[in-house]
Structure 1
């Protein structure tokens, strides 16, 4: 039995059946924006490894950060101990994040950061001896992760987690429209612990965009009705939408901020939850502690490479790079609108989305894209790209061409 046949029989891939009937492409190496496959073909990674590898692959500065840290220690528990990489990373996160955020909790994945944020909100209200505020408000088409707490604040009807809707806690969902938001807050504020949102861009729930005025109104309503605001920037943080953090489009400050994905430049799994001091002070009333502690939280290797990734981003001309990518995606994908297969084309920052009218044959389209030298991960009706920020004009042109060919 060949390696590929054995793997399809035994290794379970994300969002796939087992045994896996879909083609799997083996990667031998990665350099810059390119993945080299086992058959010798090279493809541009238009997905940034699920939106995380913003600097591309095999980055000397990030390699060096891990190699240097590895000589000291690969890991040490964070309970009762600390280390310099965690301190350095926390410092720079608080320097670049909204300035009301003063405390950092490290976790080991985006989903776990959402779990932690939800716990923070619930424990905050417990500290205020308010036992009624136990619900969360989320947007329709929201996606916040695959663990159970995170799934409960994903849209129960329009997300991939609808299979679990009957066993998950029941929360409240609202359209990202100002009047709907005002009505929902007025009706439910007494039971709302927090509202959790993906700012400006809703990712895996449909790659949908909404206006900054809606984001501003959410912050106003949370203040007016005494509801905490959790901002999930796992997908949008670190420049993806053209701002360092997407909440900057509306110039708002969250009470709790979740970060992940591009935090380490795609090198290792790590997440961070930042909060306003009122959250931590509210929790610790009467000696309470935050009841969360992942084994690998603040992993030194991950913290070291995350600090190096942020340093690299900040010294790069990232704003101009994102602007160039946005302009090129807008121009290059616009012809897709002429196809009767296409429902919509939308672009913001380094995100380009073509929404088809019908669900696609993903395996067939992926094979065609690879023939064009491009790796993308379409889902449902969505053919989209979130390329590394270092992608050249020629790289983006190749991605655009590969996408538009699937629309003809």
Structure 2
């Protein structure tokens, strides 16, 4: 017998018959890891399993479902678009959903981030941002600026260029060290010493550096690490001082997750390039984008075709995805999502506080709809997940953390069930 990761058995025959002998799962050792749960349906903040059990989702389906699952307004927009035109190539042809979405994104983004390049995933949005930064300098006649400054505990995706700007020592990509191009790893400028070190690095290597890339305010997959607005402002100021581009990776932090529409707003900074995704379509279908300020775009505006940005994912600006994103933005306009994120923040601060006194807990931190309980060593993930599942919640643990990133509009009782489960599991651990 093979067991799903909640201990409920199903047979080898059932697993293989469903396709288990053919699927390759993410972040999974296929030989030894427990079998996954089998989801059957979703609604609101809940996941229904094939065996009829129901779980409250505490991680918003990898931080995407900001409005909860199956919001009727998004589904209706997608159904209408599906019947009209589910997809059309974006080379030489455009369409109203993409044009309207680009205009709306530009209107809500910080400053003059007015040019929107659509892609089909967050990792590709970062790849495009890095490529854009390098070509920006090439188009301006500076050929040596091909390196990036990135930060300890940072994570920006799983594709090659993205891996090269993740933390090479503590992240999941450490084994690829000899394969990846080398960039400049730095500490976030949290104090005088680290700010001076970053200042010196940018001064010393300015002619080699294309950009600094940062997850503003919250570093997600690298451990849910927070930094304050002053730290983010220091990064912006130092980039400006040394004439280096700043890339903000808002794929996790965007669309209300930190209590603001975009995390850069906490420090009133405008990056030169910004990546968005995840919550862009409200967790319904994949879509991401790389945004550029006016001066970045102008470096590509030329009579020389070689200065064009030569990138184009096959499904970029997919009309079905753009219709979902437009509907998601409708909800941010018509429903009080940012106020709801503040309500979630208040509840998380209140209800996770008992964890602070537990002997293995070294920190409890909350910002917007992000709540983190950090332990003094890496968790026994199997034990933690089994405990959480037994309490009817779906939460993926992360290295030394149990964290919550629920839907912004989650019901109070559902949110309390999540925090109660986290507290009980932290005590059991």
Q: In which range does the TM-score fall when normalised by the shorter chain?
A: over 0.9
Find the partner of 2:39 among 27, 32, 36: 27
Taking the aligned partners of 1:3 and 1:278, their CA distance within structure 2 comes to 57
- Structure 1 portions without partners, runs of 5+: none
Find the partner of 1:57 among 61, 69, 88: 69
Report the Cα offset of residue 183 of structure 1: 2.6
Equivalent pair of 1:113/1:258 in contact (CA under 8 Å)? yes
Find the partner of 2:177 among 159, 162, 165: 165
Taking the aligned partners of 2:114 and 2:46, their CA distance within structure 1 comes to 38
- Tell me what 2:14 maps to: 3
1:141-194 CA deviation, whole Å, 9 max, x = no partner? 110000001110001111111111111010001111233322322222221100
Taking the aligned partners of 1:92 and 1:396, their CA distance within structure 2 comes to 31
- Tell me what 1:374 maps to: 393
Taking the aligned partners of 2:262 and 2:347, their CA distance within structure 1 comes to 22
- Tell me what 2:343 maps to: 324
Find the partner of 1:98 among 93, 103, 110: 110
Does the residue aligned with 1:199 lie in a helix, a strand or coil? coil
Does the residue aligned with 2:42 lie in a helix, a strand or coil? strand
- Structure 2 portions without partners, runs of 5+: 1-11, 190-194
Matched, 1:229 2:246: yes
Does the residue aligned with 2:84 lie in a helix, a strand or coil? coil
- Tell me what 1:125 maps to: 137
Equivalent pair of 1:120/1:283 in contact (CA under 8 Å)? no
Taking the aligned partners of 1:102 and 1:20, their CA distance within structure 2 comes to 48
- Taking the TM superposition and a 5 Å limit, the aligned residue runs for 1:273-292 are 273-285=290-302, 286-287=304-305, 288-292=307-311
Bigger Cα displacement from structure 2, 70-79 vs 363-372:
363-372
1:45-95 CA deviation, whole Å, 9 max, x = no partner? 001000000111111101001000011111110000001110111011011
- Taking the TM superposition and a 5 Å limit, the aligned residue runs for 1:260-275 are 260-275=277-292
Find the partner of 1:188 among 182, 205, 214: 205
Report the Cα offset of residue 33 of structure 1: 0.5
Does the residue aligned with 1:10 lie in a helix, a strand or coil? coil
- Tell me what 1:137 maps to: 149
Alignment CA distance shift 1:220-1:308 (3 Å): same
- Tell me what 1:345 maps to: 364
Find the partner of 1:89 among 83, 101, 106: 101
1:295-340 CA deviation, whole Å, 9 max, x = no partner? 0000000000001001112221122211111111111111111111
Provide TM-score, normalisation by structure 1.
0.97
Alignment CA distance shift 1:52-1:43 (3 Å): same
Find the partner of 1:37 among 46, 49, 70: 49
Provide TM-score, normalisation by structure 2.
0.93
Taking the aligned partners of 1:159 and 1:315, their CA distance within structure 2 comes to 39
Report the Cα offset of residue 20 of structure 1: 5.4
Does the residue aligned with 2:65 lie in a helix, a strand or coil? coil
Taking the aligned partners of 2:81 and 2:388, their CA distance within structure 1 comes to 38
Alignment CA distance shift 1:42-1:385 (3 Å): same
Taking the aligned partners of 2:329 and 2:177, their CA distance within structure 1 comes to 37
Equivalent pair of 2:118/2:289 in contact (CA under 8 Å)? yes
Taking the aligned partners of 2:333 and 2:171, their CA distance within structure 1 comes to 34
How many residue pairs get matched?
408
1:189-225 CA deviation, whole Å, 9 max, x = no partner? 2211001110000000111000100111111111110
Equivalent pair of 2:370/2:405 in contact (CA under 8 Å)? yes
Taking the aligned partners of 1:241 and 1:144, their CA distance within structure 2 comes to 18
Taking the aligned partners of 1:289 and 1:341, their CA distance within structure 2 comes to 54
Bigger Cα displacement from structure 2, 144-153 vs 336-345:
336-345
RMSD across aligned positions (CA): 1.3
